Each structure stands twice: as structure tokens, then as C-alpha cells.
Chain A
Amino acid sequence: NAGVMQNPRHLVRRRGQEARLRCSPMKGHSHVYWYRQLPEEGLKFMVYLQKENIIDESGMPKERFSAEFPKEGPSILRIQQVVRGDSAAYFCASSPAGRNTGELFFGEGSRLTVL
């Protein structure tokens, strides 16, 4: 059973470009969470999605950031017009549908570097 799959693992973008990060949850999981980790800091919640629904986006910056989890395919975190402050590791986590325990399984992360 494959774990949470994230790609790309590393992404370099110049200021003003767009970054797209993808996450495929574990098999059987339909809840996806995105967290951001700035260098030397903790994990900050960004957004919680279920298939075709954004459940909680209270941690998303108001501009330039968006997320989706379509019926088919991976969840995507999109950052438009990146700035240097967006450089961070972006972790996706998933949890099973119907089991509201809070347990999360993390992917290996996507490390974004903005030049």
C-alpha cells in the first residue's frame, strides 16, 4: 500500500512564476491536508479538502494561493506569482474517510525554492 505521494520533491521557481504541487493520498483516504513548513520552523496548517470540496482554508494566504482536490486525480496546491517568502517545504497529509480520529499520514514533502 503506497503512502502519500507528493511531487515534485524539489521545485525551483523565479519570482513571479507559478508553482504547482501535487499530492496523491494513501489508498482509501479521501481527506487531504496541506501544511507549510518554513525553514527551521513548525508545521502550519493551510487547507483541508475532501473530494471536490474545500472544508477548511483558514490557513491559506488570501492571495496567490489556491487548492483543489478533484474527483479524479491528485490534490493540487497552486501558488501564483511566487515570492521569495514562499520558499518552504509543503507537506501533504491524508486520513481515511469516516474515521475522524485526527491521525494523519504525511508525504515526503515538496521543497519550493524561489530565486
Chain B
Amino acid sequence: GENVEQHPSTLSVQEGDSAVIKCTYSDSASNYFPWYKQELGKRPQLIIDIRSNVGEKKDQRIAVTLNKTAKHFSLHITETQPEDSAVYFCAAPYKAAGNKLTFGGGTRVLVKP
């Protein structure tokens, strides 16, 4: 099956600085890479995703990059704000199993004012 590794597990940044979270995956057939944000006690919410026909996608202060050769993808948050504090999960689908998403272990981001 798909194996998704996510680093770091915790990340503390000063407000205004950038945050970078990295993930690797194992299924070379994967072609869709979403990132979810989960606030305490809430559901995971999709914040950005990238498909394998592009290398980078940006939406305001967040961006995702994809390197299919190396099988890794990253989330970049610029100009961080306190409301960015949450747990972030990367995921990748396992193509041979109906595209079910396998999630990374999560990164707890704390933005200090």
C-alpha cells in the first residue's frame, strides 16, 4: 500500500516567518496530493492540492511543490499568522485501492505572536 511520511512532527515559528512541511510517498502511480488543516476539535479541511501534471501551485500565502521523481511534496506557508496554528496533514492516494487517501502523521504548527 501507500506509505506517506511527514516531517517535522511539530513546528514553532514566529509570526511573519515562513513554515515548510515536507512529505514523501511510496506509490509512484499517485497523482493527487492534498493538504488538510485541522484545528483543535474540528474536521480536517482541504486547504490546497496539487496534481502530478504541475510542479507548483500557489494560493495566497500557501503554496505546494511537487517532485514526482523524488516522490516528495511540500507545503509552504509564508507570512504566518496566529490563525495558521493547527495540525497539517499531507496525503496521497493509493491508486490500486480505489484512490483511498493515506495520510501523513501530521505536523503541529504553532505560530507565536
Q: B99–A101 contact, CB under 8 A?
A: yes
Mask of B4-32 contacts with A, CB within 8 angstroms, 1/0:
00000000000000000000000000001
* Interface of A: prevailing SS: strand
Query: Which interface residue of A35, A102, A106 has the most chain B CB atoms within 10 A?
Result: A102
| Interchain nearest-CB distance for A107 vs B (Å) | 6
Is A72 positioned at the interface, with any CB of B under 8 Å from its CB?
Answer: no
Is A11 positioned at the interface, with any CB of B under 8 Å from its CB?
Answer: no
Q: How many residues of A contact B (CB 8 A)?
A: 24
Q: B97–A58 contact, CB under 8 A?
A: yes
Question: Of B43, B45, B49, B100, which contacts A45 at CB under 8 A?
Answer: B100
Q: B99–A43 contact, CB under 8 A?
A: no
Contacts of B103 in A (CB 8 A): 35, 42-45
